[in-house]
């Protein structure tokens, strides 16, 4: 077996001490290689577009372009790059915006040393990753917004509704499979059918729909 290629990572944060700490944590993993450290959004974008890259870890609050803008531009040019956003913002709207852009991971800075490794491991397998503290925070949020999606939801089967409910609880495909005692493949098939029925397309679109309409699901 030939030697495994290292995963190429870009990290960007305007706070030097945090950046250094992050670098140390990532480099502890032999499979990972940091190819660029940026201290602002513009540098991060330029580096991401000009280098071979697997993962870009971006802080949201950066001078130049902010993390969301950087992610959007990088994904527009290189959709294959997995983006992990690092942020101080424990807030639903920033999170939803990140989902909309199509990022793969949303990691709270305060838990970065623990979560970043898990996040990298998840996105490497093409899964999404959300800091556990973030998802529990989001779950605590009430949603009293009158939903206009009830009719659409009626087109779903009971099994599909159940899956949407679990997605709304920020559960991964794997978690859902385990919980419902079905295979991951079956869950993926369900997800595809649901997305079709609800006219959803694009990365994270089903997750966003489920979160936004969680009040209509219960």
Q: Which residues bind other proteins (CB under 8 A)?
A: 15, 17-18, 21, 25, 60-61, 66, 68, 88-94, 97, 109-114, 141-146
Q: Give the CA dihedral 200, 169, 98, 7, nearest 10 degrees.
A: -100
Backbone torsions φ then ψ of 63, nearest 5 degrees? -70, 170
Report long-range pairs for 173-181 (Cβ below 8 Å, ≥24 apart).
173/127, 174/127
The least CB distance from residue 54 to other proteins, in Å, is 23
- CB-wise, 113 or 182, nearer to other proteins? 113
CB 207, CB 130: distance < 8 Å = no
Those residues whose C-beta lies under 8 Å from the C-beta of residue 52, and which sit 6 or more positions away, are: 8, 35
- CB-wise, 193 or 215, nearer to other proteins? 215
What does the DSSP 8-state code read for residue 143? -
The least CB distance from residue 7 to other proteins, in Å, is 21
The least CB distance from residue 42 to other proteins, in Å, is 16
- CB-wise, 125 or 144, nearer to other proteins? 144
The least CB distance from residue 88 to other proteins, in Å, is 6
- CB-wise, 61 or 175, nearer to other proteins? 61
């Amino acid at each position: 077996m030939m030697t495994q290629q290292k995963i190429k990572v870009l990290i960007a944060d305007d706070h030097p001490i945090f950046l250094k700490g992050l670098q140390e944590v990532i480099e502890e993993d032999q499979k990972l290689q940091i190819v660029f450290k940026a201290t602002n959004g513009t540098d991060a974008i330029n580096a991401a577009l000009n280098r071979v890259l697997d993962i870009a870890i971006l802080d949201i609050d950066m001078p130049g372009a902010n993390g969301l803008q950087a992610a959007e531009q990088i994904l527009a040019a290189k959709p294959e790059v997995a983006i992990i956003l690092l942020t101080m913002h424990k807030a639903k709207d920033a999170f939803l915006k990140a989902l909309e852009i199509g990022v793969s991971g949303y990691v709270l800075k305060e838990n970065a040393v623990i979560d970043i490794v898990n996040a990298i491991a998840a996105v490497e397998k093409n899964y999404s990753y959300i800091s556990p503290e973030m998802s529990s925070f989001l779950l605590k949020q009430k949603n009293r917004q009158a939903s206009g999606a009830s009719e659409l939801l009626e087109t779903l089967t009971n099994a599909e509704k159940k899956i949407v409910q679990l997605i709304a609880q920020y559960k991964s495909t794997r978690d859902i499979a385990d919980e419902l005692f079905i295979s991951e493949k079956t869950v993926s098939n369900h997800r595809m059918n649901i997305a079709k029925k609800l006219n959803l397309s694009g990365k994270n679109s089903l997750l966003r729909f489920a979160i936004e309409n969680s009040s209509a699901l219960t």
